Amino acid sequence: MVLSISSDTDRTTRFRSKIVAGLATQDCWIWTWAIGDDGYGCFWTPTPDGGQRMIRAHRYALALVTGSLATLDELHVCHMCDNPVCVRVEDSPSTHLYAGTAFDNMTDRAARGHRNQQPTAAFFRHETKQQRAHACCAITCAPTATALRPWQLCYAKLLPVRGTLF
C-alpha cells in the first residue's frame, strides 16, 4: 500500500499541530504527542479498512518532504541532532533528519561517539542473567530438578520486578 502524504491536508495539518518549533533557527522541532518506549514519536494514520497504522513521527515528517512513505521503505531516517523526538525536516542544509541506510545510521552514530543509549540495553549490557537476578531479587541460586540452570530460579523472580524498573 502506497500512502501518499502530501495529498492529505487534514492529516498533514493534524501532524503539524503536534510539533513545537524551537525559538532559534537551528533548534529542533519537538514532537509533543505520543512517544514510544524507545523514545521516538508515534503518529497514527487511518487505513483503508477502517483501522489505524502507527508511523514513527520522524519517518512521517521526512515523508512529507519526499511525498510518500514508500520512498523510505528500505531506508532509515537518521537524526543529525541525536534527539529522537525531533521531526525537523526541511529541503535545506538546516534539516535535522535525512534518509540513509542502516550503515549510514551506524556510521553517523559512531562518528559522534555514541553507543546504544537505550535504557534496557544499558541495564543489561554487561551482566549475566544470574548477576541481574541476584542484584534485583537478592536470593541465592541453586540448581534443582525444576531449574536446569542456576539462574533460572532467580530470573523467574526477576521478571515481575523488572517491569517496575522502567
Whether residue 130 contacts residue 151, with contact meaning beta carbons closer than 8 Å, is answered with yes
Q: What is the pLDDT of residue 153?
A: 45
Q: What contacts 97, CB < 8 A, 6 or more positions away? A: 58, 61, 62, 77, 78, 79, 80, 86, 87, 88, 89
Q: What is the pLDDT of residue 70?
A: 84
Q: What is the pLDDT of residue 159?
A: 43
Whether residue 35 contacts residue 42, with contact meaning beta carbons closer than 8 Å, is answered with yes
Number of H helices, E strands in the chain: 6, 6
Q: What is the pLDDT of residue 139?
A: 44
Q: How far is CA 69 from CA 59, 63, 135, 151, 154, in A?
A: 8, 5, 44, 45, 45
For residue 51, give the 3-state DSSP assignment. Answer: coil
Q: What is the pLDDT of residue 93?
A: 85
Indicate whether this model's pTM tops 0.75.
no
Q: What is the pLDDT of residue 24?
A: 87
Instruction: Provide the grid cell at 154.
Output: 532467580
Q: For residue 29, give the H/E element and its range.
A: strand 29-31
Q: What is the pLDDT of residue 166?
A: 34
Q: What is the pLDDT of residue 7?
A: 56
Tell me, what amino acid is at 10?
A: D
Q: How far does Cα 57 stand from its chain's mean position?
A: 10
Q: For residue 100, give the H/E element and its range.
A: strand 97-100
Rg (CA), the chain: 21
Q: What is the pLDDT of residue 134?
A: 53
Regions of the chain short of the pLDDT cut 50: 1-3, 136-144, 147-166
Q: What contacts 4, CB < 8 A, 6 or more positions away? A: 67, 68
